[in-house]
């Protein structure tokens, strides 16, 4: 009696686990299939050439998404350029350059930063950063590439710091004895032993940060000004792919505009996949070694 009940319970558990796993896998597949299905018209050479142009003026028949692709790339890379050195500094501070008490607090603060809603960063950016830039440079409205890059840098900073931190945690114990035996100062240890051995961690942090910056919607949408153009300078407006999707859905438009939205979605999906593959590649050989 008990036995059958137990066995039934056991198989129920397995069934629940398996079906949840199947649903999760199916969800990812469904997302890809939907994006592909709605991007199908792209296979038409004429439509494709229309979308792959530098001109976005939906009311004059211009549906080019290249400005947005360029905007996303420029924005993510510049945010990475801002956030990465600071993250390295923070990580070094936490691993010996600063006193241990404040270092622990700093790490906790950075972890806390992950919980601040993106939209709150954007909101504060609109009312603090944008007026500041407008006053400082006296050009335009302040909604520009630079504002969005700074906002995004703040957003991706914790991601990068925590990735570097976990890498440093792996390397530190390996070099600690050597460093102490050689009488190295913390700065010497970090610069000559820890950092040169953290190449993979640096690369992983860069890739992860880039993926996070590329995928964020609210900061570019709220701070970058959203003009569909390739910015000539840091003080000009740009539009990211993510912001483009949000804007086009909001303003109901013709079918080619919809198509541009799914094309952007597909590009984002594929870049996410690439980022993930990159991370896996960076992770793998290390596991083999250990």
> Could you give the CA distance from residue 53 to residue 101 in angstroms, rounded to a whole number?
54
Task: Select 97 or 170, whichever has its Cβ closest to other proteins.
Answer: 97
Task: Select 137 or 269, whichever has its Cβ closest to other proteins.
Answer: 269
Residue 214 sits in the site that holds other proteins (CB under 8 A): yes
Binds other proteins by CB under 8 A, chosen from 40, 81, 128, 182:
128
Residue 270 sits in the site that holds other proteins (CB under 8 A): no
Binds other proteins by CB under 8 A, chosen from 224, 259, 268, 282:
268
Residue 187 sits in the site that holds other proteins (CB under 8 A): yes
Contact 82, 146 (CB under 8 A): no
Residue 253 sits in the site that holds other proteins (CB under 8 A): no
Residue 169 sits in the site that holds other proteins (CB under 8 A): no
> Could you give the CA distance from residue 162 to residue 115 in angstroms, rounded to a whole number?
13
Q: Where are the alpha helices (DSSP H) in 40-144?
A: 45-51, 66-92, 100-113, 118-124, 130-137
Binds other proteins by CB under 8 A, chosen from 109, 136, 169, 182:
109
Residue 100 sits in the site that holds other proteins (CB under 8 A): no
Residue 25 sits in the site that holds other proteins (CB under 8 A): yes
Residues paired with residue 62 on neighbouring β-strands, in sequence order: 57
To the nearest whole angstrom, how small is the minimum distance from the Cβ of residue 60 to other proteins?
A: 25
**Contact letters (x/-) for other proteins, 223-252, by CB under 8 A?**
-------------------x--xx--xx--
Binds other proteins by CB under 8 A, chosen from 81, 116, 136, 169:
116
- Residues between 41 and 80 that touch other proteins (CB under 8 A): none
Residue 146 sits in the site that holds other proteins (CB under 8 A): no
Residue with tokens 């303003």: 251
Residue 34 sits in the site that holds other proteins (CB under 8 A): yes
To the nearest whole angstrom, how small is the minimum distance from the Cβ of residue 190 to other proteins?
A: 8
Residue 136 sits in the site that holds other proteins (CB under 8 A): no
Binds other proteins by CB under 8 A, chosen from 68, 110, 144, 149:
110
Q: Is 93 exposed, middle or buried (0-12, 13-18, 19+ CB in 10 A)?
A: middle
To the nearest whole angstrom, how small is the minimum distance from the Cβ of residue 212 to other proteins?
A: 8
Task: Select 53 or 217, whichever has its Cβ closest to other proteins.
Answer: 217
Residue 85 sits in the site that holds other proteins (CB under 8 A): yes
Residue with tokens 């792959």: 52
Residue 2 corresponds to which tokens in the numbers above? 């008990």
> Could you give the CA distance from residue 87 to residue 82 in angstroms, rounded to a whole number?
9
Binds other proteins by CB under 8 A, chosen from 141, 174, 185, 254:
185
Which are the contacts of 26, defined by CB distance < 8 A and separation ≥ 6?
A: none
> Could you give the CA distance from residue 148 to residue 155 in angstroms, rounded to a whole number?
10
> Could you give the CA distance from residue 271 to residue 274 in angstroms, rounded to a whole number?
5
> Could you give the CA distance from residue 188 to residue 179 in angstroms, rounded to a whole number?
8
To the nearest whole angstrom, how small is the minimum distance from the Cβ of residue 166 to other proteins?
A: 13
Q: Which secondary structure element, helix H or strand E, spans residue 71, and what is its range? A: helix 66-92
Residues paired with residue 57 on neighbouring β-strands, in sequence order: 62
């Amino acid at each position: 009696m008990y036995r059958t009940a137990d066995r039934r319970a056991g198989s129920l558990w397995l069934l629940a686990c398996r079906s949840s796993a199947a649903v999760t896998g199916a969800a990812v597949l469904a997302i890809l299939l939907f994006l592909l299905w709605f991007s199908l018209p792209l296979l038409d050479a004429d439509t494709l050439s229309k979308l792959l142009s530098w001109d976005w003026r939906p009311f004059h028949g211009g549906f080019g998404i290249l400005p947005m692709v360029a905007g996303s790339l420029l924005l993510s890379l510049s945010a990475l350029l801002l956030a990465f050195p600071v993250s390295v500094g923070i990580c070094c501070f936490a691993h010996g350059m600063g006193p241990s008490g404040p270092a622990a607090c700093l790490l906790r603060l950075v972890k806390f930063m992950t919980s601040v809603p993106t939209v709150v960063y954007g909101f504060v950016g609109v009312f603090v950063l944008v007026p500041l830039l407008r006053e400082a440079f006296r050009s335009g409205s302040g909604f520009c590439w630079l504002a969005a890059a700074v906002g995004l840098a703040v957003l991706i900073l914790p991601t990068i710091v925590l990735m570097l931190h976990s890498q440093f945690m792996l390397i530190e114990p390996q070099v600690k004895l050597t460093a102490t035996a050689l009488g190295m100062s913390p700065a010497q240890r970090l610069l000559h032993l820890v950092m040169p051995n953290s190449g993979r961690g640096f690369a992983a942090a860069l890739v992860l940060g880039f993926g996070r910056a590329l995928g964020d919607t609210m900061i570019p949408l709220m701070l970058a000004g959203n003009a569909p153009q390739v910015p000539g300078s840091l003080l000009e407006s740009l539009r990211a792919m993510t912001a483009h999707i949000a804007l086009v859905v909001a303003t109901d438009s013709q079918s080619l505009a919809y198509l541009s939205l799914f094309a952007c979605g597909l590009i984002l999906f594929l870049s996410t996949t690439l980022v993930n593959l990159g991370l896996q590649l960076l992770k793998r050989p290390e596991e083999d070694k250990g």
